[in-house]
Amino acid sequence: MAADTLSLQGKVAIVTGSGRENGIGAGIALALARNGASVVVNYMSQSTKDRAANVAETLRKAGGQAIVVQSAVDTLEGARHLVKQTLEGFQTDHIDILVNNAGTAFFCPITEEPNVEQLAKVFQTNVLGPFYMVHAVVPHMPPGGRIINISSTNSKRGNAKISTYAASKAALDNLTWTWADELGRSKGLTVNSVAPGPVKTDLYPEGQEEELMRPEVALTRAADRAGTPADIGDAVLLLVNEKSRWITGQYIGVNGGVTY
């Protein structure tokens, strides 16, 4: 009997917000590509164009296929554009894996004057973005397809300085549970949330990373350290594999044991 593998040969994947080399999205994209998937590296802002190209080159050097697509995911038009470019770029009629990783946060304690535009952007990107992407991808996703929503420990623990971000991730967890039901029996898809804890990425204000991560690092059980993009990527790799066919609708903390 042949040994089980984590091969994703022949699979097509989209990882939204994967255009920064030090980001969680890039770590996920690398894990999928090195195991045979054809991966779309997605970025939104023109300022990260070169970084996205670097990520794609890293994926190719790891043995995977990769294309780069600039597209916002916080509008239905942007989501549909990303799906269209994926199908055309890989000359395929199917998308097997969607990782809703793109997200944003703004530090705004409730006692400070709110920036209404920033607050709206958090929910537009973190909640409606995944909604639009799932809507656009599902018609092209065959049975056995995998949808992974990147959540956060903040969805369970809250966060006084970025309460809107925490609330948006709680909403995403609810969507995960609902979509698992809606897309499971009818279409044969699984939907799960992966919740990182502290991972040093561009999400944190420059120079404040260690200070802001310290409280949650102190709660880790696996090791006394922050997580890495590779930690998250390897967990997603397990969940998108065929062997995870009976796991759906779950909040899976990939955070060293900060949440349960």
The residue among 167, 142, 139 whose CA lies nearest residue 155 is: 167
Active site residue 165: yes
From 38, 71, 152, 193, active-site residue: 152
Q: How many residues does the chain have?
A: 260
Please state the separation of Cα 209 from the chain's center in Å.
20
DSSP class per residue in 221-233: SS-SS-B-HHHHH
Q: Are 45 and 62 in contact (CB under 8 A)?
A: no
**Burial state string for 28-56 with b = 16 or more CB within 10 A and e = fewer than 16:** bbbbbbbbbbbbbbbbbeeebeebbebbb
Active site residue 169: yes
Non-local CB neighbours of 147 within 8 Å, separated by 6+ positions: 97, 98, 100, 134, 137, 141, 179, 183, 189, 190, 191, 192
Torsion of CA 174, 176, 182, 184, to 10 degrees: -150
From 38, 71, 151, 193, active-site residue: 151
Active site residue 260: no
From 18, 43, 156, 165, active-site residue: 165
From 38, 71, 169, 193, active-site residue: 169
| Token digits of residue 115 | 């920036």
Secondary structure of residue 32 in the 3-state scheme:
helix
Active site residue 152: yes
Residues labelled as active-site residues: 151-152, 165, 169
